[in-house]
Amino acid sequence: MNDLPTLHLSPPEIVVVLGSVALVSARWLPPAARRRTAVGAVIAIVAGGAGSLFGPHWHLLPALAADVLVGAAWLLRRRRGSRSRRWPALAGSVTCLGLVAGTVVAAWALPEPVFPRPSGPAAVGTTVVQWSDPGRAEPATPEPGDRRTVVAQLWYPARAGAAGTRRAQYLGRSRREAGIVAAAAAEYLGAPAFLLSGPTRARTHAAFEAAPAAGRFPVVLFSPGLGGVRTQNTAWAEDLASRGYAVVGVDHPYDSAAVVLADGRTVGTRVAATGEKEQDRRRMAGWTAVRAADLRFVLTQLGRLDRGEFGGPLAGRLDTTRAAVTGHSIGGAAALRAAEQDRRFSAVIDLDGGLSPEQGALRQPVLALAHPARDRPDADYLAFVARVLQRGAATSYLLTVAGSAHLTFTDAPLFLPPVPALVGSLGRVESVRVTTEACAAFLDVTLRGRAVDLPAVLSRPGELRVFPPAAGA
């Protein structure tokens, strides 16, 4: 089901847009109403602009450009002391109205994301940790003493009172960090930074450093896509946390677009394709191996956090004996490799992930979500996923989600243009819901042992293939 279009403009910005429409239209009103309408429109534009000073959207620029053109035309007429011809004036008015419409379209296509309210019964807390692995050198730098460091963000069930506290910043611990991450992500995508200014203003439903709820939470680790960041699946993570899981998103330094460390340094990405197929395959295998090691290390650190070795309120709350490893795109490949190497992971979720050719058979159950095949590479990918799952020792599932694209399984539909080839055709909120419902049902069965008709639930949004345990596995 598609979401209804929403006007993502603040009230002051709506006033600017309406004032701009009135200013452009005033030229065609009777003389008695023309001056009053124009004056009122200018007052509305100035008042709305003043109200937007503390966080204006770039989307307003086309409407303000239309206002400038109208003003310039008026001054030109005054200077010449003559009336403009009807048809050129009409073309100018149509052009200016098109600019005002551009503001509305831009605000709709590239909005400040509004995160859907988590569907579970618990409030959600979040915190950020940073850990260095003393047994592993940083592979991206030549310094002999540089140890591999990762930054992780945890979303977890919080006490009920946390719902009323200030909500956490999206993309970072602060607005400054969010701006750094958004600018780096835009640069990685080859887009102007201002196009991702909306996410830097967004707040999520989690409360930063909120006290955790009672009980012990199964753990779900998450690795983002290539160049992606730990927060790229925040809506999904918050929903799972509201259902009782502790979700841990991992930043992979020198891979993620930008990682802001505790000392204030920013580590940018160094991943890049060469265009040479075999060399890029080797690079991808190397990046996947580093990520898989990061995930295994984070699981170890979470166990230490649960045992109280680092202090903090999450001691005694993280049940690492019930742990799933998940990821999107190359993060999905890393999740599968980590599970193959580490039996501590009880289940795996691959969100449209590119599997490594070296991927071996798995003993854990796997849920693989994928977009439908649109070309030969897509079909080959789905066939490869099926072969991996066929060799597994546990029942696994391949769900091809109808109407999805590669970015459907992330937060991207909440703030990128609703172009089906880019984010799918499910709609902004529905994309999150479909992904979360499938993952939650799978985790409820594999980590909590709940009685769920998993094939029935998973087959709702698309085509499901079930792979029973391989003979002799």
Region of poorest pLDDT, from 27-31, 312-316, 338-342, 389-393: 27-31
Residue 273 backbone zone (phi > 0: left; psi -120 to 50: alpha; other: beta): beta
The pLDDT of residue 2: 42
State the average pLDDT over residues 72-89. Answer: 74
The pLDDT of residue 43: 93
Residue type, 162: A
Contacts of 177 (CB under 8 A, 6+ apart): 169, 171, 260
226 vs 81, higher pLDDT: 226
**447 pLDDT more than 60:** yes
- Cα within 13 Å of Cα(460), Cβ side: 14
Contacts of 325 (CB under 8 A, 6+ apart): 220, 221, 223, 295, 299, 335, 338, 339, 345, 347, 348, 349
**84 pLDDT more than 70:** no
Query: Using one digit for the tens of pLDDT, what is the confidence trace for 126-170?
Result: 999 999 999 999 999 988 889 999 999 999 999 987 655 779 999
State the average pLDDT over residues 185-209. Answer: 92
**81 pLDDT more than 70:** no
The pLDDT of residue 280: 78
Q: CA distances (Å), 429 to each of 7, 157, 414, 422, 436, in order?
A: 15, 22, 7, 15, 11
The pLDDT of residue 53: 62
pLDDT exceeding 70 applies to what percent of the chain? 95
The residues of the chain that CATH labels 3.40.50.1820 are: 123-467
The pLDDT of residue 1: 38
230 vs 166, higher pLDDT: 230
Average pLDDT score, the chain: 91
Residue 323 bridge partners (DSSP)? 219, 345
Domain 123-467 in CATH 3.40.50.1820? yes
State the average pLDDT over residues 299-310. Answer: 97
**83 pLDDT more than 70:** no
